[in-house]
Amino acid sequence: MEVIHSIADLRSRIKDYRRKNDQSVGFVPTMGYLHEGHASLLRKARAQSGLVVLSIFVNPLQFGPGEDFERYPRNTERDLQLAEAAGVDLVFMPSVSEMYPSPTRTTVSVTGLTSRLCGASRPGHFDGVATVVSKLFHIVQPDQAFFGLKDAQQVAVIEQMVQDLNLGIEIVPCPILREADGLAMSSRNVYLSEEERKEALVLSQSLQKAKAFVESHTAFTPQELESLVSQHIATSSLAIIDYVEVLAYPTLEPFKNSHHTHSIIIALAVKFGKTRLIDNLILQVGK
């Protein structure tokens, strides 16, 4: 495994690989502080690709004022151990000045899909994500890129961007990995106090309740599911709901009732103290 800091070096390694091999290049973009969820993406990339490239870059563009860019958790040594164990070939770890040598005047903005959920709560966030991911895609030029479905809106946005800009990259969505008690794995879980960590279980529990409701009802409205989920989350005195929304997936359009869509997402963002957690469940419904 090789760790590379410059765009020029990474490009030349990948070009060299492509010259000598006809196997695919798989790419896993991350912001580091890797956990088992990232490891599952890397293992999938390892199984499907000849060359596995991991990027670790905490992207300032996707953090709003007052968000956690400065304190975002970092642990390079542990990240590199996990990457090595997962069979990564190249780790790209650019500095902020390598990625953004001068103030960037070009923004990639995916409209529509970004007006709800995290797009509404975090203005500019998805412009930052789409811009950095498109830069990384241009640098790495992968055949496949692997993304976790915990950020299901991000997956929808990236898929739309790839389609609209004819990037010719296969986006591989990968299932959410959960701790044994159900909490979705996230680099931000480390911020939680012991009490918040316990209370945060209401998130996965509320999604399981919604799943059971969907499975036992032939028809339902999004509002019914939203109130069921919100009510369960409200049983935690520490939880402050940012949003609970049920939409069609991957269009992220509202729908009237379960007869009007095939696939739905129950998406939520909830704050425990200063920590904002997201989670979701994607379900097939109807006939």
What residue ranges bind ligand PAF (CB under 6 A)?
29-31, 59, 62, 129, 132-133, 151, 154
Least Å distance, CB 246 to ligand PAF, is 23
Which residue, 132 or 192, is less far from ligand PAF as judged by CB?
132
90 assigned binding-site residue: no
* Strand partners for 263: 284
Any binding-site annotation on 37? yes
Q: Is 151 annotated as ligand-binding? A: yes
In angstroms, what is the minimal distance from the CB of 59 to ligand PAF?
4
Name the residue among 215, 207, 211 with its Cα closest to residue 280.
207
Which residues are within 8 A (CB) of 18 and not within 5 positions of it... i.e. 6 or more apart?
25
38 is catalytic: yes
Per annotation, catalytic residue among 5, 38, 138, 260: 38
Q: Nearest to residue 26, comparing CAs of 174, 149, 156, 164?
A: 174
32 is in an annotated binding site: yes
Supply the minimum distance, in Å, between the C-beta of residue 211 and ligand PAF.
24
Return the active site residues. 38
